[in-house]
Every structure is written in structure tokens, then in C-alpha cells.
Structure 1
């Protein structure tokens, strides 16, 4: 890791167990400089620079380097993560993304919306009793899991085992947390690899109108669009992308509204605000709290000498509260029209393919919940992961109204 060129650059200790990107010191650092130093390399704190660098072709994901940084040099986690679509660039990335674009059609998203609404209403029924509920366990996990399984053509009887694995895949961006993270992640990858192989065989024998069947058809075409190993990796990665971040975003939305009950009541009265509410909860408390990149070459950017191999982290939550990019950036307001998009879906060639689906899921969930239930109140302690990577409480004890 190279030393920052500017003297007196702010330092943020993201390894301190008490550290949070909501701390005043983060915004003091943001006012002083567009980046800060940390034990994990440079932290990009402002929106404009984070947006620029997410689009900069001189920066890459470099999955191999990311694994090695955390002491993983082989095994099932490595073998899944390194070939993942987001860790490809250029022609390889365009080939795989082109395949996925054919599957994520506007038609398929439109067909899913009534199912999403139906699931949101069914899950809300369980919360409508005035009691205390773990929102993550009773709603947050189940809605995106049901949608993902419907999208992929997974049988309902497989949901439970599938859900445990998918919930643990997001730990790949929390490897610095220690504990049993690696063991849980390895178990999830092994389980989902086996299931993906079973799913491929099932769709070869019994194709249906689902995304898995579309991908299997491309594999069966035999024209080199995708190999079986790539297909299995795509399916496992889809599981991760479609479930983990959305379940956390739903929980994060509840935390945000528990702190702003007037906004919840407003949404209940004006359901047409649902789309803006989705954008605001993603801005205010994103489930993807940070996005990393490695420098593929030496270059200069806004006074910083970036050296090949440098590790940069785009601090999404801090950047999305940057007053240079947002009017009243420190205010949670579902009526606000924001002029710039959220960063948690990435930018440029690697912009998340599932962004539209995530917005539909969160929007339908919020409109149903706010119409049926009073404002959420957090009624127990929350445990959050470390500040980098996927963000959201593992359990969320709530009472509505």
C-alpha cells in the first residue's frame, strides 16, 4: 500500500470496534479531504471522487488480490470468488454480462412485481399483531429469498436450506471480521455449488420460464457463450446478489424509519412516495456500505499519486451524505428529489444488473408495510457487522405502531 501524497491526511481507524461511518469524525475528515488513510488503505469519502473512481478503468476488482489480502490462497471460497463476473473486465466481462442482460429483461421484472406484492402482503400479515418481531427473520430474509427462488426456478421446498447458504455468502466482504466467518462462508459456497449443479441438470431435463432455464439454454447452445463452470458460478453469484444485499436493505430501511417515524406516517398516507422512499433509504443507510478497488497501474488523481496495487475503498455511506452532492444531505427526507444516483450499485460497466429488481422489492415492501402498520420501533439491542462491506443487523427486534 502506498503512502498518501498529501501531508496531514485524516486517519480513520476502521478496525476500532466502536468505529462507524455515522461518527462525527468521518464528516470532519470529509470536510478536510476527499480521502482518508486507514489500516486497510485509502478511504474515499466524497461522492464526486467515489463516483469517478468507480468508473475509472485504471482500477479493478482483482478478486485474486482481494482473497490474498485476507489470507485465502485456494479452496472453495477462492475458486468461487476469483472467477466471479465482477472480477472480470474487458471482453470477458462483456461476454458474461451480455448473457445476464438477456435474462434480466423488463418483461421478467414486470411479471415478478405481482408476486413480490403478494409475498410482501403475506409476510406483513404475520407482523400485524401488535407484538415484538425479529424483522430480519420474519420478513427481511423471506421476501428476497422467495423472489430469488421464483426468478431462478428453485422449488419452494428447498427455500429453507437455500436461505441459510445465501445469507452467509455476503460474509465474503466481511472477511476481516474473523471468528467463524471463513467456515460459514466455505459451507455456503460448497452447498450452493452442489445445488447449482443439481439445478443445471434439472433445467436441462425440464426447462421452464425462469432465469436458470435461459442461462442453461445458452450453455446448451454449445457456441462458447458460457461453460458449465461459468454457469455454476453465475448461478451462485446471482443467489448472492439477489438475496443478501436486499435483505439487509429492508432491515436498514426499518432502522431508518424507526428514527424518523413522521416519515413513515407520511409514506402510509402517500404511497406514491414509495419510489422516492426507496432511493432515500438506500442513500441514508445503504446495505452496501463500501466498495473496494485495486489500482491496476500508476496514475495521478486530484493530487494523489496512486501506485499500482493500491487498495482503495469507496465509502458509500459517507459519500451518500456528502453535502457537496446532496442538498440537506444530513436530513432523511422521502420527499426529496435527489439529483445523483446512489453508489451502492456501483457505476460504469460494473453497475449492478439486479438494481431494478432490488428497487421493486424494497418499494413494494415499504408501501405494504407503511399502509398496514404503524411506525417501527427498535425494542432490543442491534449487532452490526464491521464498517466495511455489506451492512445490516443480523437480527432486528421491532414493534410496529
Structure 2
């Protein structure tokens, strides 16, 4: 689709933000000014970027809105005969109603509070061991040395993904998340296509191995249930496993990278966390508020959708500017300051809402809750020790690499 910049709106109209500009950032003065002026901004994508918390929360919770994976692919110029289209359109997150409930029920039983709490000792041990290694190393590339490794431990234990396979699928499980940044163009569509193709082949072999030699893990259980009860097709199960492999790795590693990069800019807060572990839960929410790894919450309107006194046609796209909404002073007084001491009254938006609220949200919080204090107790504040490049702000975002020196 075209990404040409439309004319600058005249006074009184919604502001315009070029979200496909490689330099676009949600923490820029330009976004703050747009938020002050209006609850949304127009974009070069023909979609509205929601900037304020109240409107964003209302839209993500409205059960009438749809996820319309087909519409999202078409809007980004992705053809039907591609691996990207084949994976994204039928994915669980892009179904609504009964189909969404059917697919979600396949994994719903695994993500119980008891199951998640059972992973705490594993996550704690892994985080503390890795933190000790960082203390000895001096200068490190944090994403590779820590942020990748914590979710890998969970994937190995929960999903049954062999840790030895990580070098095989690591780049794929990172690149596939760029599907939510397709509008940025460049080499992103090609990266996503290669990632889906690679993960399809990997997951097909993984499921075959689990069927022949099942173990005590979620993928073995899903393969067994599908074979016995025919609750899903093989293609549906492959799609679901690809999504789980990606979601269990990419969003968590990027959130860890975002968090530690933020603490490098707020070193007093790092010291505060290390000395006050009782602030951990609050610190987790604050880093997700300040630098969410996901600005990839989208909703499409149903036919003749009425919102804020306006009737919109079916298939109109709202993009939720999660990080902007998290700094909306109407919802977060003093929210333009990062402070783990301040209890916030509103929930973060990056996990969506309503029937589509992210199944993995409690697990992501647990990984952060064990990782961040393990680091802050053992290590002096981090300092960025080299160049950091970033994924596009509009999508699943965070540092591609994060060279750090502690102390």
C-alpha cells in the first residue's frame, strides 16, 4: 500500500504522525504534542493511531471490534500465496467469537496460575545464574547473554523445545514478530516470509518428534490430544505452535532489553530495586508502562461502527499507540517520569483486553519479576557500551542488540 505523506492537517483537525518513518519514536515531543491536541493522530496508512488511554482501553475491550487478519495482510500488500499470509490470517489471535474460543481452549488449560507459579524456581535459578555470569564478564551483549536465555529456559521446560535447537530458530522467532511492522517496508516483508517458512519446517519436524517420542510438555500434549480427539487440524496445530514459539521468546526478550536500557538511563532506580526487592511487582509494571515491547495492538471496525460521535465503515483500522497511551497524563498523573516507587492505578495495554487478553501475560510478568531483581541485586547500574539499533516503534519493539558495561 502507499505510504506517501498526506497533506499536513489544518488547525482543528487531528494531527498527523508518520509512523512509518524509520526515526519515529513514541517517546518523542512530537507524539506528546499530538496527544495533547487530540485523542488520535492520522497516519500515512489510512488508519488512526490512538494516543490516549481511555479511548485505547475502550477499543481493545469492545467485543464488536475484529482482528481481521485478512484485512491486515491486504492493507500491508501481502499476497495470499505467501507463507506470511498462510500463517497470519488463520492464527488464533486473528479469529473472533466461537473460532477464537475453540483454538484458545487448546492451550487454555496449560496457562493456569498453578502452572505459572510452578515455573518460578526454574526462572529464578536461570536468572540468578546468568546474572552471576554477567558479573564476571564485565562488558556484555545483553540480548544474547541474558534476554534470549531466560525465555529459552521457559520454552524448553513448558513447550518442550530442545535448548540445543535454539540457534536454529532464534533468528526466525525474532524476525517473525516484524509482521506487526510490515508497513515500515524495506526488507521487513522478506524477513517475515523467511521466518515463517523456516519455523514451519522446524515445527513440522518438532511435532513429528513429539508424536514419536512424547515428553511431559505442552507441545507433546497438544500433539497427543489432536491425534486422539481430532480437536484441530494438523495445519491449525502447526500454526498455533509457531505462534507459541515466537510469542514465548520475542516479546519477553525485547521487554527485558527495554527494561535494562531504561535502567541505564535511570541508575538511581536500579539501585533502588536492588536494595528494595519489595518494589519488584511495581517495577515490572512500570517498565512495561514506560517501554512496552508491544505497540502491536490493532482493531478493525465492524459495519457502521459508532465511536466518539462518528460512524465509521466496516474494516476501518485503529492502531493503539500503547507507549503513548501509557504516558497519557489523564490516566497516569506524573506519567512522564519513570519511577518504580509510584503505584499506577491503570493497567498496561500491551496485552490487549477482553476475550483476546494475552494468555502469556502472567508468565511474562513472572519472568520479569525474577530477572530484574536478580540483576539489580548482583550488579551495579548498567551503562550502554556501544551502538544500539532499534526495531520499528510501530510493532513489537526493542533493541536489536544492547552492549552493556555494569558499573
TM norm structure 1: 0.95
1:192-207 alignment, distance < 5 Å: 192-207=199-214
Moved more, 280-289 or 208-217: 208-217
2:52 — aligned with what? 46
Residues 130/157 of structure 1: CA separation in 2 closer, same or farther (3 Å cut): closer
The whole-number CA distance in structure 2 between the counterparts of 1:38 and 1:123 is 42
**Does the residue aligned with 1:189 lie in a helix, a strand or coil?**
helix
**Does the residue aligned with 2:119 lie in a helix, a strand or coil?**
helix
**Does the residue aligned with 1:313 lie in a helix, a strand or coil?**
strand
Q: Does 1:152 align with 2:125?
A: no
Post-superposition CA distance 1:102-138 (Å, at most 9, x none): 1222232122111111211222222113632111121
2:303 — aligned with what? 297
**Residue segments in structure 1 that go unaligned for 5+ positions in a row:** none
The whole-number CA distance in structure 2 between the counterparts of 1:155 and 1:10 is 49
Check the 8 A contact 1:298/1:305 in 2, yes or no.
Answer: yes
**Does the residue aligned with 1:129 lie in a helix, a strand or coil?**
helix
Match of 2:83 among 72, 76, 80: 76
Q: Does 1:215 align with 2:222?
A: yes
Residues 25/181 of structure 1: CA separation in 2 closer, same or farther (3 Å cut): closer
Check the 8 A contact 1:50/1:319 in 2, yes or no.
Answer: yes
Task: Give the aligned CA root-mean-square deviation in angstroms.
Answer: 1.9
1:112 — aligned with what? 119
Runs of 4+ residues deviating >4 angstroms: none
The whole-number CA distance in structure 2 between the counterparts of 1:304 and 1:14 is 24
1:329 — aligned with what? 335
Q: Does 1:35 align with 2:40?
A: yes
1:186 — aligned with what? 193
Residues 234/332 of structure 1: CA separation in 2 closer, same or farther (3 Å cut): same
Moved more, 72-81 or 381-390: 381-390
Post-superposition CA distance 1:71-115 (Å, at most 9, x none): 111211110111100010000001111121112222321221111
Post-superposition CA distance 1:314-338 (Å, at most 9, x none): 1000000111111211111112211
Moved more, 281-290 or 179-188: 179-188
Q: Does 1:127 align with 2:134?
A: yes
The whole-number CA distance in structure 1 between the counterparts of 2:359 and 2:20 is 31
The whole-number CA distance in structure 2 between the counterparts of 1:389 and 1:138 is 24
TM norm structure 2: 0.93
Match of 2:253 among 247, 259, 264: 247
The whole-number CA distance in structure 1 between the counterparts of 2:392 and 2:173 is 19
2:402 — aligned with what? 396
Q: Does 1:362 align with 2:368?
A: yes
Give the superposition deviation at 1:230: 0.8
The whole-number CA distance in structure 2 between the counterparts of 1:372 and 1:386 is 32
Residues 9/180 of structure 1: CA separation in 2 closer, same or farther (3 Å cut): closer
**Does the residue aligned with 2:405 lie in a helix, a strand or coil?**
strand
State the number of aligned residues. 398
Give the superposition deviation at 1:27: 1.6
The whole-number CA distance in structure 2 between the counterparts of 1:204 and 1:16 is 46
Give the superposition deviation at 1:371: 0.5
Moved more, 50-59 or 11-20: 11-20
The whole-number CA distance in structure 1 between the counterparts of 2:215 and 2:67 is 34
Check the 8 A contact 1:219/1:227 in 2, yes or no.
Answer: yes
Check the 8 A contact 1:379/1:398 in 2, yes or no.
Answer: yes
**Residue segments in structure 2 that go unaligned for 5+ positions in a row:** 2-6
